[in-house]
Chain A
């Protein structure tokens, strides 16, 4: 076997080289491998650091986003001096600082149905560190169509999932993919809204590290990869489960009656695209107008329909009445004078107003345009944004 390594590389990777089943051959496979990491956020941070440190020879980074301060709670690739800078570029600088013996390519773009196949075809293995359903399905389908292994992880609050999809087995067949597990996504109404998101910062560190591990195993051929298995981690209880993933006859790409042979419109597929569902507009008041009448001493009743944990971050003097408690607290909402209702950005409060108008005969309700975020922007910059 030809030794492709310089003395500096041999010394850098020596702790791999002295693992008998990994050795120089495993390291050579890493050096020759091309891995595309999609998303350089919470999952991408540890993944990129460990893949670079391990000596994966060619790493591609796809990210269109810029670094924001609230990313630093979990995206440990970045520091405060990089807030406002490109994630993909900053990630490249960071990992080349860690390992100059590798090549890094930045794709500063959003992955779409138009560019996904072209991007993915340049690589051997894909690692999906994205954060939304349309992109999850896009990456899965593109990997199946392009014949690439997709190392997957996903997180929510305290819960993480990890698997290896579309794995090329020694017999030449492919393992199950995401569509075998979930042929289609939940409709938007059933997924958590902005008040129900969040993630404990360490969790993507754990799941992203597991992803890096599986990428290294897929490339080196060492160990048993998470092919046909779904690993679940509950950080709250420290519960772990490993479940079997089987081929699903209903898989539209690889099932018994495939109906899909190309990429589709994933925003539409996930119920997010197209003409927005016509919802009756509600009367609004801008933050500036609310501020002006307040200064005249005519402040209307203000009701805050967010959750207590949101109220604790920032509030603007409203009566806290979480959405689910509104029907039981109608006596606190007068009908004889103007009432302004607000939430974080204005979506939940509009829904509450429609409900109160339709079911309880209110006609004096105004939605605060842009919610407390709009108020923070236009009137009170001292409030924290979240």
Chain B
């Protein structure tokens, strides 16, 4: 299994869950599993063209997927994927 960590601002779309697990073997498939389970997340992660939104970063381990193979990045079992949102502070 691979796991993806959901940041606090997006947890209202996952029923409060901070972690989602899936046997998916690529970042794309893992994100797709995630938004299929929590449809409300989709517009926050992807634009209308299906591309990842520019104010969201996705990491595999400690590396940005842009430095790897983007959403095509393969996952070996037990990898931790993180969604990193921009947070500003108390107001937003």
Q: Which residue of B lies closest to A193 (CB)?
A: B92
Number of interface residues of B (CB under 8 A): 28
Contact present for B57 and A181 (CB under 8 Å): yes
Contact present for A197 and B63 (CB under 8 Å): no
Query: In the complex, A192 Cα to B87 Cα: how many Å?
Result: 10
Give the chain A neighbours of B87 by CB distance below 8 A: 154-156, 159, 161
- Most B-side CB within 10 Å, residue of A135, A186, A239: A186
Query: In the complex, A250 Cα to B55 Cα: how many Å?
Result: 12
Contact present for A197 and B92 (CB under 8 Å): yes
B54 → chain A closest CB, angstroms: 6
Pick from A130, A183, A239, A243: contact of B89, CB under 8 Å = A130
> A230 interface residue, CB < 8 Å from B?
yes
Hey, what's the 0/1 contact readout for B31-75 against A, CB within 8 Å counting as 1? 000000000000110000000011101010011101100000000
Give the chain A neighbours of B64 by CB distance below 8 A: 243-246
Contact present for B66 and A246 (CB under 8 Å): yes
With A159-B8, A186-B55, A237-B18 known to touch, is A132 a contact of B89 (CB < 8 Å)?
Answer: yes
Query: In the complex, A15 Cα to B12 Cα: how many Å?
Result: 46
Query: In the complex, A155 Cα to B92 Cα: how many Å?
Result: 9
Hey, what's the 0/1 contact readout for A337-376 against B, CB within 8 Å counting as 1? 0000000000000000000000000000000000000000
> A136 interface residue, CB < 8 Å from B?
yes
Q: Which residue of B lies closest to A178 (CB)?
A: B86
Contact present for B55 and A184 (CB under 8 Å): yes
Query: In the complex, A185 Cα to B59 Cα: how many Å?
Result: 18
Q: Which residue of A lies closest to B57 (CB)?
A: A181
Query: In the complex, A353 Cα to B25 Cα: how many Å?
Result: 45
Hey, what's the 0/1 contact readout for B8-35 against A, CB within 8 Å counting as 1? 1100100000100000000000000000
Hey, what's the 0/1 contact readout for A128-163 against B, CB within 8 Å counting as 1? 001111011000000000000000001111110100
> A222 interface residue, CB < 8 Å from B?
no
Hey, what's the 0/1 contact readout for A224-259 against B, CB within 8 Å counting as 1? 000000101010110101111110101000000000
Query: In the complex, A33 Cα to B51 Cα: how many Å?
Result: 45
Contact present for A154 and B88 (CB under 8 Å): yes
Query: In the complex, A229 Cα to B90 Cα: how many Å?
Result: 23
Give the chain B neighbours of A182 by CB distance below 8 A: 54-55, 57, 86
- Most B-side CB within 10 Å, residue of A41, A133, A198, A237: A133
Query: In the complex, A131 Cα to B67 Cα: how many Å?
Result: 30
Task: Give the B-binding residues of A (Cβ under 8 A).
Answer: 41-43, 130-133, 135-136, 154-159, 161, 181-186, 190-192, 196-199, 230, 232, 234, 236-237, 239, 241-246, 248, 250
Q: Which 7 A-B pairs have the closest CB atoms?
A: A131-B89, A156-B87, A191-B92, A186-B55, A159-B8, A131-B90, A182-B86
